[in-house]
């Protein structure tokens, strides 16, 4: 999907290099990606004829070659944009669930430490997203339209963080419940788990004299 992100940024027809695309994406989405990702993707798109190199403006850094979208690139981007979004089906890409799968078998000390770290990290991410969203909402003037879209995107990410935090709370509760259940069940070789054999009746009692 990253290819369509790059094509979308170039859709306005203005040539830009990888660093400029990275900065624009950061300002529009609130997410910072490596500049190298953009340059590598631009080279792939150029090999497929979806973008092409453009003339570098006079006085610009010659090491940063700008790219512009081609007619084929516009067609590919608009076809992707107009298609209905596909539901997420690659469960293996859900890293949190993937890790939790193995955490359920970890010892109590490790599991609690990891859960604390995950929750703290998500809480910090949530606070950062809240501040970024508040800043986007407060953006005045001519940039208010793009800032409004950014605020919506950040709000969507906040909901994802809240859902992950709720999942971790539920996971912790289930994990602690399973620990308590294991503690209450005595091991097979413990004295309380051994079955006391019944006493044999005294044959002398009740015998006729």
Closest CA to 154 of 129, 131, 134, 137: 129
Q: Tell me the backbone φ, ψ of residue 196, rounded to 5 degrees.
A: -75, 125
Give the containing element (helix H, strand E) for 100.
helix 95-103
Summarize pLDDT for 157-169 with one digit per residue, the tens. 899 999 999 999 9
- Residue 181: C-alpha distances to residues 43, 46, 174 (Å): 57, 60, 11
Give the containing element (helix H, strand E) for 52.
strand 51-53
Summarize pLDDT for 85-127 with one digit per residue, the tens. 766 555 555 778 878 878 877 788 988 999 999 999 999 999 9
Both tokens of 149, joined, read 């879209």
- Residue 144: C-alpha distances to residues 14, 147, 149, 150, 151 (Å): 22, 5, 9, 10, 10
Summarize pLDDT for 5-19 with one digit per residue, the tens. 999 999 988 999 999
């Amino acid at each position: 999907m990253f290819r369509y992100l790059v094509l979308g940024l170039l859709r306005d027809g203005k040539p830009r290099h990888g660093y400029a695309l990275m900065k624009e994406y950061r300002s529009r989405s609130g997410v910072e990606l490596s500049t190298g990702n953009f340059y590598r993707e631009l080279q792939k798109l150029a090999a497929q004829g979806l973008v092409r190199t453009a003339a570098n403006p006079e006085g610009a850094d010659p090491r940063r070659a700008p790219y512009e979208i081609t007619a084929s690139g516009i067609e590919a981007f608009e076809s992707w944009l107009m298609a209905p979004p596909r539901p997420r089906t690659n469960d293996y890409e859900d890293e949190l669930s993937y890790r939790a799968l193995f955490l359920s078998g970890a010892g109590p000390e490790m599991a609690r430490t990891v859960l604390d770290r995950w929750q703290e990290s998500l809480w910090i991410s949530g606070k950062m997203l809240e501040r970024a969203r508040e800043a986007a909402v407060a953006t005045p003037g001519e940039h208010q339209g793009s800032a409004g879209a950014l605020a919506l995107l950040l709000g969507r990410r906040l909901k994802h963080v809240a859902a992950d935090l709720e999942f971790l709370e539920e996971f912790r509760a289930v994990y602690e419940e399973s620990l308590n259940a294991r503690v209450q069940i005595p091991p097979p070789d413990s004295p309380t788990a051994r079955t006391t054999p019944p006493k044999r009746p005294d044959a002398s009692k009740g015998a006729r004299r």
